[in-house]
Amino acid sequence: MKRSLYQKVRPYCKINLGLHVVGRRPDGYHDIETIFVPVRTLKDTLIIHESDTPRMIQDGIALDNAPEDNLCMKAWHLLHDEFGVPPVTIRLKKEIPFGAGLGGGSSDAAFTLQLLNARYLKLPRPMLHERAARLGADCAFFLYDRAAYATGIGDQLKKCPGLDFKGYRIVIGIPKGEHISTKEAYAGLNQDLFGTQRPNLLEAIRQPIEEWRHLIVNDFEASVFPSHPAIAALKEDMYRSGALYASMTGSGAAVYGIFPK
């Protein structure tokens, strides 16, 4: 007898090492350059099982969207509409804060795609990558379980050799009540930066972590910090607490510090 789908996984978050906004595209998106790093100390819980009708149940951190608008449900719709994947119930317990630049929603969607694909379709990785990119710019990153150098809108990924955090710990914090929309972060960008020469990220990460403070920059800090001083203060608190490198991740509001163990 064929077993029905019942799977539980723990989608993890990511941080950005550097984030350069290279320019605005004709389609309204922006080209970026960054390094995505998986962080497995902060995870959601995702359970999927077969059901008579598609359903989304959200627990944990309250989200600001209706369950049917969740990216997990959009991932199911994408595969259902194209390949006829049957109805499922998706239960998501949120522990990764949203609007924080941690990619939690994209991770949840990517894990949903992987579970449904493994059970019903067996699509090759390039096909799954293309569909993940339709759901979110950084969604495809979570298909690979490794650090990646990202360009385009964040969907063009290359292996990132030489990046090793053994002997270090990554601490993530978010000032209470802070939430940054992507629209707000992009609105304040200094467009004079577009097209200018930046430090090479792949060369910068080969330097000692203590040197990254002078080499690796997130462009969104300049647009976010003036109106959200608590986020800027948290970054400085990380350094005062002994971080070798600290930065806002994505378009905020989360800040991370890399500390020696």
Q: Which residues are catalytic?
A: 14, 138
Closest CA to 137 of 25, 256, 258: 25
Residue 2 contacts by C-beta under 8 Å, 6 or more apart in sequence?
A: none
Burial degree of 46 (CB within 10 A; 0-12, 13-18, 19+): buried
127 vs 107: CA distance, rounded Å: 17
Element (H, E) at 168: strand 168-173
Tokens 């990785």 found at? 125
140 vs 97: CA distance, rounded Å: 19
Q: What is the dihedral of CA 224, 228, 229, 231, to 10 degrees?
A: -80
77 vs 8: CA distance, rounded Å: 20
The tokens for 240 are 């005062």
The tokens for 188 are 């304040």
DSSP-derived letter for residue 102 is: S
Closest CA to 175 of 106, 219, 238: 238
Residue pair 240/219 in contact (Cβ under 8 Å)? The answer is: no
